[in-house]
Amino acid sequence: MSAEFVFATAQYESGDWDSAPLLPANIIDTIARYTEIPVAPTGVIVPLSDARLFRYPLVYLTGHLPVRFSDTERRNVRAFVDRGGMLFIDDHNHDIDGTFHKTATEEIARTVAPLTELPNDHPLYSAFFRFDGPPTTSHELNGWGDNLVHKHLLAVQRRGRISVLYSNKDYSSEWNYHPDNKRFLSVDNTRFAVNLVVYALTA
């Protein structure tokens, strides 16, 4: 296992797993800006059905289309969280009536355990930067998707630790831009990603 953190994007059989291609680079840039965590300059794409999945402590999964894991993917994801990995799933449709949400939550319930609301005072929100809950995204504020501003993230927790984190906030759209464009933002909207990474590495 490499000593440096490598951001991994999950590749799965059923959907458009590559719908946010610039997000990994953006998060890597954020980690480099705010922390001293040794981080690889590029991310990797790791198939959920591949044993390489177990090399990465945090795996990011997104998409618009229905999420249906194959048997191998399901077995690997189960083993991944059993071994202490953290799977971060973001609904790129930002729609709780959307097919991604319905199928992904159902698949997680089937594979790991049912998702429950993550309290907004969870250590995740103070793992590095301090947040009062999941930061909102412009996509949910401007009425895209389900017209809702979601107050909580969902999660599967094991022994007080998050195994699967699920978001309807559409961070995949919010963070999917070239890191050089951060200079146009008054407040870096990817700071929450630091909390995700720090939590996944330390909790």
Contact residues toward other proteins (CB under 8 A) are 11, 14, 17-18, 21-22, 25, 28-29, 32-33, 36, 39, 41-42, 45, 64-66, 68, 70-71, 93, 98-99, 103, 106, 110, 158-159, 173, 178-179, 202
164 φψ region: left (φ > 0), alpha (ψ -120 to 50), beta (else): beta
- Measured from the CB atom, the residue of 42 and 151 that comes closer to other proteins is 42
Q: Is 31 exposed, middle or buried (0-12, 13-18, 19+ CB in 10 A)?
A: buried
- Measured from the CB atom, the residue of 15 and 134 that comes closer to other proteins is 15
- Measured from the CB atom, the residue of 96 and 133 that comes closer to other proteins is 96
Q: How far is the CB of 147 from other proteins (least distance, A)?
A: 16
Q: What gap in Å lies between CA 26 and CA 20, rounded to an integer?
A: 11
Q: What gap in Å lies between CA 200 and CA 123, rounded to an integer?
A: 11
Q: How far is the CB of 89 from other proteins (least distance, A)?
A: 17
- Measured from the CB atom, the residue of 45 and 149 that comes closer to other proteins is 45
Rg, the chain, Cα only: 15
- Measured from the CB atom, the residue of 99 and 120 that comes closer to other proteins is 99
Residue 144, amino acid: W
Q: How far is the CB of 102 from other proteins (least distance, A)?
A: 9
- Measured from the CB atom, the residue of 65 and 152 that comes closer to other proteins is 65
Report yes or no: 151 and 189 within 8 Å, Cβ to Cβ.
no
Q: How far is the CB of 185 from other proteins (least distance, A)?
A: 15
Q: How far is the CB of 148 from other proteins (least distance, A)?
A: 18
CA-to-CA dists, residue 93 to 62, 66, 104, 155, 187, angstroms: 9, 11, 12, 18, 24
Among the residues of the chain, which ranges form H helices?
23-34, 71-82, 99-111, 138-141, 171-174, 191-202
Q: How far is the CB of 45 from other proteins (least distance, A)?
A: 6
